[in-house]
Amino acid sequence: MCNHRVVANGAPLDDRFTNLALEARKAGHTPTLIGYNDTAADPRGLDPADPRLRTFEGLLPGFEVELNMPEEPEAWIAWLRSEGYDVPHGSLEVYEPVGAPPTGRGVTFPPPVYRAEHSDTAYMINRSLDWLASRTQQPWFLHLSLLRPHPPWIAPQPYNAMYRPEDAPLPRRAPSEAEEGAQHPLMRHWLDHRTAESFTRQNIRNCDITELDQREAHATYLGLISEVDTQLGRILEFLEATGQTERTLIVFTTDHGEQLGNHRLFGKLGWFDSSFHIPLIIRDPRAPDSVNGTRVEQFTESIDIMPTILEWLGQDVPAQCDGASLAPWLTGKTPPDWRTAAHFAFGLHNPATREFEDTFGLAPEACGIETIRNTRYKYVHCGGLPPLLYDLQDDPDELINRADDPDYREIALVMARELVTWRMRQDDRALANMKIDSQGLHKA
């Protein structure tokens, strides 16, 4: 992200970058999208009246679109109407729960008007199966981007009541809001200003929702995950029934995690594992049986996915890629010199609202967070604001900031040096590893 700079929805993607879809085309595939990939267009060279400059929900170059499901999924809503539902235009209304009881009843959130077989998840799976049915005898490349369990957390029956709120775990958080906010100025700001409306349908501060509300939210969230699990099973059953399982690479992952009440926050933000530790499951039909079901404990990152797929397709990995192929793990081998830490970042600057720029008096370039996390420590560098350091062995819930603790001063210094070194290695190298002299062009 420190190279392409797409740090939030609406941040334009520089046209000079290639991507997975464009590279897969070189292998003869036509990458197709069902869902969304939220790519804001490079504004340079576009007329100010171009509609692409009025949405963050643009399409990544290289994809053909079978079904676009933006924030207001009109195609799905129109289909609901064709199925006999009396639903209004716009996505927020269709997700409203039916017969919502007052909060504090100890039940999961009520279901919406639509049944499970008509949910947005089921609709996208139906469209995927229709698309796949006409391609059983030819190569295909499908990017299926399901929305769930993204908010609003409203699950259809029976998924809304599949898990009991009383069985849901309580979030990991400090004993009090004051202690949570004392960790860092950004925490204090988020606790004061972020509301739970888009998650729990309540327009109150995240940190003010009750314990029961949190359990209800967690139970509903688990129900939405189970719905995704069930619906994806239909895709896998289709591949098995049509004899495609043994020639199909399957990659399952997500774009972000969820705080789910941890640290009194909802959504994805900051530096917490809850927001950045995401699932990654790869099923390679060529993998030996001894490897199937293996869990890799080493650090992998989302930037590893593109090199992995391209290597599987027999394509060269572009120099712009910062990640590394996971292919050796799929054959039971450990790649040499593998990373010993994970790195992730979070962008705060917003030219439209200037929320953090004005609140903290920061230049836009300073409104960002860079994190390095190894098996023991997590160091967080905040541009223009104090750093954070966690000892994950003694404090796995990330509750105690050790950055100013004299006993951890050397560790903080070492982690900061490692982060700087890593950033140097990640600098844009499109032309950096070339040199022209009297002998011609040299490439590293």
Q: Where are the domains of the chain?
A: 20-340, 341-444
pLDDT band at 307 (very low <50, low <70, confident <90, very high): very high
Which runs of consecutive H residues, i.e. helices, occur in 194-269?
197-200, 211-241
Query: For strand 368-373 and strand 377-382, is the pairing parallel, antiparallel, or unpaired?
Result: antiparallel
Instruction: Please give the pLDDT value at position 204.
Output: 81
- Nearest CA to 247 among 140, 164, 320, 162? 140
CA–CA separation, 268 and 384 (whole Å): 21
Return the ∠ at Cα 301 (arms to 246 and 69), rounded to 5°.
70
Could you name the CATH architecture of 20-340? 3-Layer(aba) Sandwich (3.40)
Q: pLDDT class for 106, splitting at 50, 70, 90?
A: very low
pLDDT of 200 above 50: yes
Considering the entire predicted model, what is its pTM? 0.94
- Rounded distance between C-alpha atoms, residue 49 and residue 299, angstroms: 44
| Predicted confidence (pLDDT) at residue 107 exceeds the cutoff of 60 | no
Q: Indicate the residue type of 95.
A: Y
Average pLDDT over residues 199-211: 80
Q: What are phi and psi of 434, to 5 degrees?
A: -130, 155
- Which of 28-32, 70-74, 187-191 shows the lowest mean pLDDT across its residues? 70-74
Q: pLDDT confidence of 208, banded at 50, 70, 90?
A: confident
Instruction: With beta carbons less than 8 A apart as the criterion, state whether 49 and 339 touch.
Output: no
Percent residues over pLDDT 70 in the chain: 97
pLDDT of residue 212: 85
Q: Which fold has domain 341-444?
A: Arylsulfatase, C-terminal domain (3.30.1120)
Residue 76 has pLDDT above 80, yes or no: yes
Closest among 76, 95, 94 to 35, alpha carbons compared: 76
Measured distance CA(113)–CA(363) in Å, rounded: 46
103 or 290, which is more confident: 290
Give the residue-averaged pLDDT of 379-395: 97
Mean pLDDT of the chain: 92
Pairing of strands 280-283, 250-253: antiparallel
What is the pLDDT, as a whole number, of residue 427? 85
User: pLDDT at position 23, please?
Assistant: 98
User: Over 80: is that where the pLDDT of 290 sits?
Assistant: yes
What's the whole-number mean pLDDT along residues 201-220? 85
Whether the per-residue pLDDT at 161 is higher than 70: the answer is yes
pLDDT band at 90 (very low <50, low <70, confident <90, very high): low
pLDDT at 201 over 70: no
The pLDDT of residue 213 is 84
Q: Is the pLDDT of residue 211 over 90?
A: no
Grade residue 309 by pLDDT with cuts at 50, 70 and 90.
Answer: very high
Q: What is the pLDDT of residue 89?
A: 66
Q: What is the pLDDT of residue 366?
A: 92
Q: Which residues contact 315 (CB under 8 A, 6 or more apart)?
A: 23, 24, 26, 27
Which of 17, 51, 56 has the alpha carbon at shortest distance from 39?
56
Which whole number is the average pLDDT over 143-169? 93
The predicted model gives 194-205 an average pLDDT of: 78
Euclidean distance between CA atoms 87 and 274, whole angstroms: 34
- The residue ranking higher by pLDDT, 191 or 99, is 191
Binned at pLDDT 50, 70 and 90, residue 100 comes out as low
267-292 mean pLDDT: 95
Which of 190-199, 266-275, 376-385 bottoms out in mean pLDDT, i.e. has the lowest?
190-199
Quote the pLDDT of residue 108.
62
- 102 — pLDDT class (breaks 50, 70, 90): very low
- Is residue 129 within 8 A of residue 235, CB to CB? The reply is yes
CA 57/CA 69 separation, integer angstroms: 9
Q: What is the pLDDT of residue 368?
A: 92
Range in 65-69, 102-106, 395-399 with the lowest mean pLDDT = 102-106
Better-predicted residue by pLDDT, 213 or 171:
171
